[in-house]
Structure formats: structure tokens, C-alpha cells
């Protein structure tokens, strides 16, 4: 297919496709004439993956390139691949308070999880602990055990979702989509559940309207 | 106290305090001389609340003003207050697909929750449904029931946390802090739980390193 059709099928504008080509985020098409190239279904799939990472995940060009390098390296280690993508999607703080990180590691051990101090999400959680203390809300940290238990349930749903897909590109795309759209969905569901829980705690004498 | 001390105690820079005063987000101090005003503990508390909403919640000046108007109206309806704040913190899309919203409402009813179609989080979740279909990932929607069940657990932890506080300002501050820092904490815990779940599903023959 020509670039116009690639654009139509992928939902990505032609100038954006050209940018991805220049940046090496999309392999070049097969040149048929000096000013024309042919693209195939692999390009459509790759473009969808890039789009998911850039538009939904807000990843930098450099981060997308790292992830694509992993995708393109010959491996069938799904666990390692998912780890790379998941870490690429986490904004890990450069510096964290080691004491806060110790607390996070204690929670990880309590949960029986297999994650190390270097996991970007562990560092990111340590930042939340530090921020909560700085603004005088250490009580938030007490909620983390319950959050962690709920997260196990969420992670199981996430892995079930990823197992719907076959082929490295589609699997990775599903990890990116699941992480980004999933975070939005969870934030919304959390608010809906809070509203309902607040009703039932503080309005017990007042049945909900029909 | 003078403005310099207010700045020190609240962690908010003097020019920012002056901006909040001009915008009516902080009540004026008691004028002691033409160019001098005295502030008290109420100012410190209010400033912390404003700071939590602006810096952590990323709320607009207009949204903060709406919330403060609710805080300042004489009421002891905690449920209504929390609803206002929680809605102020949700970016509700202007237009949503009504079919997707129907699906969200069906989930809400399945969960026995007391939320209406107008709840900003219901609209925000409908947007996620639409986005998932647009990028050809409808399978994500199947995960929502499990997400919703996990959210009930999270909401209980959230309300327990809010119950640590007394006084409308502190309670509302805790809702803002809990929502914003809580979303970051959950995103991190979700990734840690995914890593661990992925290890146990795909690496059963390979015990985790010491």
C-alpha cells in the first residue's frame, strides 16, 4: 500500500508517519519509484504500536526507540519484554529517599512480590511516601497495604487481558494500551466506588434515588 | 504572623501567596499598617489546601475557587462536600458516546453502586471505552469488572484514610491529597504487582533471585 492508505488504515496522519520514518521508529517501505514506497501490514501494526506509546503513553521518542529495540531483538522471553515496556512507561525519579525506599521494599516483601529496589515503580512509590510526609499526610501511607492487595487483583486482570493477544507487536501494544488506558479507567472507577462508599457510610438513613 | 512566616510555615513562596490573595483563593490578612498584614493558623491551613489542589491536583484557579466556595458554605454534609471535591478533580469530557455511557451505567448497576450518568467519572470511563474500541482493543473493556471489584477495596481504604482527619479544611485536603497522590501510588503498585504476577505466570521454573 502507499503512504496515504497506510495513514488511513493506521489513523496516523501522513506528516506524522514521515516523522516516524525519519526518526527510525518505523522501518522504511519498499522503494518502488524514486518518490514512492510500498508499505505492508507489518507497517500498520508497528505504526499502531508507536501511536499507542506516543499518544496514549506520552513516551518520548528516545523511550519508544528503546522499547522498539527490545521488540526487534530476537527473544521469546515475554516476562523480560513486558518488564522493559512497563519500566519504559514509568517515570522513575532520579533521586529517592533511601528510607522511603526501604519502607516500599518492606511492603513488597510483605506482599511476597518479586521486585527489586531498582524497579522504577518502587522508586516512584517511594516518592509518593516522601511527598505524603512533606505535606503532613503520613496517614496515606497506612492505606498502601490495602492498595497493594487491590493491585494484585488488578494485575491479574491485566495479565489476562494481555493473554488475549499473540505476536510480539500486539502483545506489547496491549501492555502499553492496558497501562495507559487502564490507569485512566482505574482513576475513574476509584472515584465511582468512593462516591458509592461515601453514600453508604454517611447517608445510611437516606436511600439512594431511583 | 507576617507574610514571610506564612510562606515559611506553608512552604508556599511569597509571590505565589500574593497571587492567591489577589485571586481570592486566600482570605486577606488583618491589616496592621498600610503595607502590612497579619495572618493566622487558618491562613496556613487554607494555603496548604490550595497548594494541594494546585500543585498536586493540577486544578485550575476556577476549579479551586468552586471548591473553596463549597468549603466555605455552612454545611455539615460530608458526602456532598466530598462529591464536589471529587468531581472538581475529574476531567470530565464534554462529549461522550451515549452507547459507551450505557455500558458504564450497566457496570455501575452490576456493582450496586449509587452513581448517575452525570457523574464526571462515569463520563470519563465512557471515554476510555470509546478509546479502547477506536484503537482496536475492545478486550480491555472485559477487564473492567475485575477493576471495579478492586476499586471497591481501594475506596474503602480511601474513606478510612479521610476519617483520620477532622475539620472541613483538613478533610477536604485529605480528599485532594488522597486522590492525587493515591492515583500515583496505585499506578506504581499496579506495575509492581504486574511484574510479580508476570514472574509467577511465565517463570515458574526459575525461582526469583536472592
Interface predicted TM-score (ipTM) of this complex, two decimals = 0.78
Half-sphere exposure of B139 (CA within 13 A, CB side): 18
Cα B84 from Cα B50, distance rounded (Å): 15
Please indicate whether, in this complex, the C-beta atoms of A185 and B147 are within 8 angstroms of each other: yes
Is A56's Cβ below 8 Å from some Cβ in B?
A: yes
Q: Pick from A82, A177, A199: which is nearest to B140 by CB?
A: A177
Distance from CA of A33 to the nearest CA of B (A): 32
> Is residue A127 pLDDT above 50, yes or no?
yes
Specify the range with the lowest mean pLDDT, choosing from A198-202, B21-25, B201-205.
B201-205
Q: Which of residues 157-186 of B touch A (CB under 8 A)?
A: 157-161, 164-165, 173-174, 177-179, 181-186
The three cell numbers locating residue A34: 524514486
The reported pLDDT for the residue numbered B29 is 93
pLDDT of residue B204: 53
Q: How many residues does chain A have?
A: 210
* pLDDT score of B206: 52
What integer pLDDT is reported at residue B210 of this predicted model? Answer: 45
Of A113, A149, A186, the CB nearest to B151: A186
In this prediction, residue A71 carries a pLDDT of 73
State the DSSP code for A207: P
For residue A89, pLDDT beyond 80: no
- Return the minimum-mean-pLDDT range out of A69-78, A111-120, A189-198: A69-78
Q: What is the mean pLDDT of residues B97-123?
A: 93
| Strand A36-38 with B30-33, pairing | unpaired
b/e code A95-104 from CB counts within 10 Å (16+ = b): ebeeebbebb
Average pLDDT across chain A, whole number: 85
Q: How far is CA B134 from CA A92, A165, B131, in A?
A: 30, 17, 5
How far does the CA of residue A146 sit from the closest CA of chain B (Å)? 6
The yes-or-no verdict on residue A76 having pLDDT over 80 is no
- Closest partner CB to B135 (pick from A127, A177, A187): A177
Judge whether residue B151 has pLDDT over 80: yes
**Of A191-195, B30-34, B134-138, B139-143, minimum mean pLDDT range:** B134-138
Residue scoring higher pLDDT (B2 or B64): B2
Tell me: pLDDT of A208 over 60.
Answer: no
Q: What is the DSSP letter of B207?
A: P
For B174, phi then psi, to 5°, come to -65, -35
Contacts of A152 in chain B (CB under 8 A): 193, 197
Q: Which tops the pLDDT comparison, B52 or B37?
A: B37
DSSP designation for B191: H
For residue B188, the chain A residues in CB contact (below 8 A) are 90, 121-122, 124-125, 128
- Disruptive mutation site among B189, B205, B206 for chain A (greatest number of A CBs within 10 Å): B189
Q: So what's the pLDDT on residue A173?
A: 79
Measured between CB atoms, which of B83, B125, B153 is closest to A146?
Answer: B153
Q: Report residue B119 as a C-alpha cell.
A: 457523574
With cut-offs at 50, 70 and 90, classify the pLDDT of residue A206. Answer: low
CB contact under 8 Å between A140 and B79, yes or no, is no
Q: Which candidate, A38, A91, A45, places its Cα nearest to that of A71?
A: A45
10 Å Cβ neighbour count for B205? 5
SS3 B119: coil
Nearest to B135 by CA among A41, A174, A82: A174
Interface test with B, best of A79, A129, A189 (most B CBs within 10 A): A189
pLDDT band at A74 (very low <50, low <70, confident <90, very high): low
Residue B31 three-state SS? strand
The pLDDT assigned to B205 comes to 56
Short-list B140, B145, B187, CA closest to A165: B140
pLDDT of residue B146: 95
Residue A199 pLDDT grade (very low, low, confident, very high; cuts 50, 70, 90): confident
Q: Highest mean pLDDT range out of A47-51, A203-207, B108-112, B205-209?
A: B108-112
Mean residue pLDDT across chain B: 85
- CA B71/CA B85 separation, integer angstroms: 9
- Given 3-state DSSP classes, what are the helix, strand and coil percentages for chain B, each rounded to the nearest 5? 70, 5, 30
Overall average pLDDT of the A94-106 stretch: 92
Cβ distance A122 to B192 less than 8 Å, yes or no, reads: yes
Asked whether the predicted pLDDT for residue B209 surpasses 70, the reply is no
Tell which of A133, A187, A206, A210 to mutate to test the B interface (max B CBs under 10 Å): A187
A209 has a pLDDT exceeding 70: no
Q: Answer yes or no: is pLDDT of A167 > 80.
A: no
pLDDT greater than 70 at residue B19: yes
* pLDDT for the residue numbered A210: 45
**Residues of chain A contacting residue B195, judged by C-beta atoms under 8 Å apart:** 83, 86, 113-115, 119, 121
Cα of B33 to nearest chain A Cα, Å: 32
Q: Is B46 on the interface with A (CB under 8 A)?
A: no
A86, A108, A191 member nearest B86 (Cβ):
A191
Amino acid at each position: 500500500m502507499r503512504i496515504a492508505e497506510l495513514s488511513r488504515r493506521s489513523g496516523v496522519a501522513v506528516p506524522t508517519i514521515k516523522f516516524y520514518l525519519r526518526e527510525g521508529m518505523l522501518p522504511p517501505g519498499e522503494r518502488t519509484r524514486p518518490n514512492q514506497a510500498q508499505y505492508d501490514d507489518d507497517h500498520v501494526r508497528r505504526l499502531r504500536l508507536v501511536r499507542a506509546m506516543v499518544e496514549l503513553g506520552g513516551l518520548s521518542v528516545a523511550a519508544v526507540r528503546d522499547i522498539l529495540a527490545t521488540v526487534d531483538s530476537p527473544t521469546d522471553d515475554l516476562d523480560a519484554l513486558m518488564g522493559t515496556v512497563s519500566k519504559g512507561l514509568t517515570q522513575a525519579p532520579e533521586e529517592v529517599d533511601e528510607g522511603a525506599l526501604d519502607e516500599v521494599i518492606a511492603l513488597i516483601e510483605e506482599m511476597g512480590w518479586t521486585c527489586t529496589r531498582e524497579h522504577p515503580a518502587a522508586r516512584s512509590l517511594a516518592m509518593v511516601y516522601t511527598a505524603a510526609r512533606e505535606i503532613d499526610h503520613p496517614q496515606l501511607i497506612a492505606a498502601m497495604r490495602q492498595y497493594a492487595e487491590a493491585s494484585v487483583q488488578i494485575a491479574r486482570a491485566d495479565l489476562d487481558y494481555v493473554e488475549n493477544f499473540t505476536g510480539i507487536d500486539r502483545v506489547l501494544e496491549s501492555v502499553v494500551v492496558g497501562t495507559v488506558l487502564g490507569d485512566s479507567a482505574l482513576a475513574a472507577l476509584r472515584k465511582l466506588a468512593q462516591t458509592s462508599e461515601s453514600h453508604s457510610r454517611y447517608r445510611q438513613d437516606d436511600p439512594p434515588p431511583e
